[in-house]
Amino acid sequence: MIRIGIYGYGNLGRGVECAIKQNADMELVGVFTRRDPSTVKTVTGASVYHVDDALSMTDKIDVMIICGGSATDLPVQTPALVKHFNVIDSFDTHAKIPEHFANVDAAAKESGKIGIISCGWDPGMFSINRLYAMSVLPDGESYTFWGKGVSQGHSDAIRRIDGVADARQYTIPVETALEAVRSGKNPSLTTREKHTRECFVVAKEGADKARIENEIKTMPNYFADYDTTVHFISQEELNRDHSGIPHGGFVIRSGKTGKDLENNHIIEYSLKLDSNPEFTASVIVAYARAAYKLSANGDKGCKTVFDIAPAMLSPLSGEEIRKNLL
C-alpha cells in the first residue's frame, strides 16, 4: 500500500481524499490542516492532523500531496516539505514555474526525495499532449482552448466589483475557431476569436446593474479583450443552476508531412469534466503513484509530467499493460 498524506484541505484536498478511495493500492494516512483539526470534518472520515504534526509522521507517509494555492502556499510549502517527504503539487503560476522547479529540485536532491510539480490537467495532461503532438508533427501549429468551464479567478474578479453579491463566470471556446483549427487551416486567432466569457451575476439590492455590467465588460486583462455576456440572476438561481465546477478544453495540433508537406494531420485531445477539482485530484493521485515508484527506484529531484513514463502512473505491471493496453 502506498501511504498518502494530504497537506491543505479545500476543494482539491477533498478531491484527492475521494480519489484515493478509488485506488486499491493506496491508503490515506490523514489530512493536515492549518485550522484546528477538531473543527474539520472530512468527506470520507479521514483522520485530521494539524500541519505542525506533519514532520513527526515522516515514517508513516510515502507521498505527501500538497493542496495549497499557487500564489503564496506552494512556493513555500513544496520546497520545505520535500526536505522530508516525496511530494506532489499543482503549481500553476506559469511564469514562475522555472523558479519553483529550481527551488524544489535543489531541496529534493539534498533530501533524496522526489518532488513532482505542476500536476493536474493544465498544467498536466494538456502539457503532455502539447509535447507529444509537437514532437510527432514538428511542422505545425498547436492550439489550446479552455472550457466550457468555470473560471474561479474571473468569478472572483466580478465579486470584487461594488454592488455584486455573488457571481459565476464561464469561459467558452468559440465553435467556429475550433472548426477552423480542425480543418487544418492553421488560422491565426486573436484572444477574442478563441474564447467568449459568460457571467452570471447576483446584484445587491438597489445596485446599478448597468454600471456593474460596464465595469465587467471593460475590466482589463480579465474581460476587455473578450466578447462578454452578463446575465443578472437571483442568488437562488445561482445556487440552483451554477453550483457545479465543470471545466475542460481542447489541445489541438495541426501538422503536415510528406515530401512536399502535402498531407495534413490533426491530433486532438479534449476533456469534458463535471468537476474540475476532482479531475485535477485524480491526475495528481495517479502521479503520486509515480512519485512512490520513482523514489523506490532510487530516483530523486524535481520532476514534471514530462519526465515521467506513462507506465509509472499505473498500478498494473509492465506485462499487464503490454498485454491489455498496447
Nearer to a copy of itself, 55 or 325 (CB): 325
Q: Regarding beta strands 247-257 and 263-273, do their DSSP bridges make them parallel or antiparallel, or are they unpaired?
A: antiparallel
In the complex, the smallest distance separating the C-beta of residue 274 from a copy of itself, rounded to whole angstroms, is 4
Distance CA 112, CA 269 (A): 35
In the complex, the smallest distance separating the C-beta of residue 67 from a copy of itself, rounded to whole angstroms, is 15
Lookup: cell for 288: 503520486
Q: Are 257 and 265 in contact (CB under 8 A)?
A: yes
Q: Does 131 bind a copy of itself (CB under 8 A)?
A: yes
Q: Are 57 and 29 in contact (CB under 8 A)?
A: yes
Q: Does 63 bind a copy of itself (CB under 8 A)?
A: no
Q: Which stretch binds a copy of itself (CB under 8 A): 28-36, 64-72, 136-144, 218-226?
A: 136-144
Nearer to a copy of itself, 40 or 266 (CB): 266
Q: What binding mask, one character per residue, do residues 32-61 give for a copy of itself by CB under 8 A, x or -?
A: -----------xx-----------------
Q: Does 205 bind a copy of itself (CB under 8 A)?
A: no
Q: Say which DSSP state 134 is in.
A: H
Nearer to a copy of itself, 170 or 223 (CB): 170
Lookup: cell for 155: 468569478
Q: Are 15 and 85 in contact (CB under 8 A)?
A: no
Q: Tell me phi and psi for residue 229, to 5 degrees.
A: -115, 135
Comparing C-alpha atoms, which of 110, 112, 28 is closest to residue 64?
A: 28
**Longest C-alpha distance within the chain, in Å?**
68
Which residues form the interface with a copy of itself (CB under 8 A)?
15, 18-19, 22-23, 43-44, 94, 97-98, 101, 118, 123, 125, 127-132, 134-139, 182, 257-259, 263-275, 278-279, 281-283, 286, 289, 304-311, 313-315, 318-319, 321-323, 325-326
